[in-house]
Amino acid sequence: MSYISKNTRRLVIKRGGNRCEYCRVLDYLGGFDYHIEHIIGVQHGGTDALSNLAYACSYCNWKKGPNISTILDGELTPLFNPRTQNWFDHFEVERGKILPLSTVGAATIKLLDLNQSARVDARFEMMLAGCYP
């Protein structure tokens, strides 16, 4: 188990804009805990360096687990990396549903199950309130 210092936690949260870096939901609106997530899991050689850490809601963190890729249309496809990629280059949102703009976006949506109906409904309500994405 790795140890993330309070200072590092604060930096990761601030850098993420208090949002899950995968689904973009603000932490105070998420309705569940948020975590400091290892983009490349420790068991795969990932470190506690800021360049390998992201702020993630418990749902996205649980679904992602240690994965860095998934099979999409029979091909191994990498997941979105919030440290090296811009979210808006890979995703767009329509009525709360996250849509892919790339194969990376499609793979991430699939593995993280980003469009589970209750999550889409919640994001749409957040959009109507001006709090999302």
Taking only the tens place, the pLDDT of each residue in 96-108 is 999 999 999 999 9
In a domain, 37, yes or no: yes
In a domain, 62, yes or no: yes
Rounded Cα distance between 18 and 55, Å, is 8
In a domain, 29, yes or no: yes
pTM: 0.95
Residue 2 confidence (pLDDT) above 90: no
The count of structural domains within the chain is: 1
In a domain, 87, yes or no: yes
Range of the domain at 28: 6-128
Question: Quick one: pLDDT band at residue 30, thresholds 50, 70, 90?
Answer: confident
Rounded Cα distance between 61 and 37, Å, is 7
Give the CA angle between residues 132, 108, 48 to the nearest 5°.
90
- Interval 49-92: pLDDT, tens: 999 999 999 999 999 999 999 999 999 999 999 999 999 999 99
In a domain, 133, yes or no: no
Beta bridge partners of 37: 54
In a domain, 45, yes or no: yes
Rounded Cα distance between 131 and 24, Å, is 10
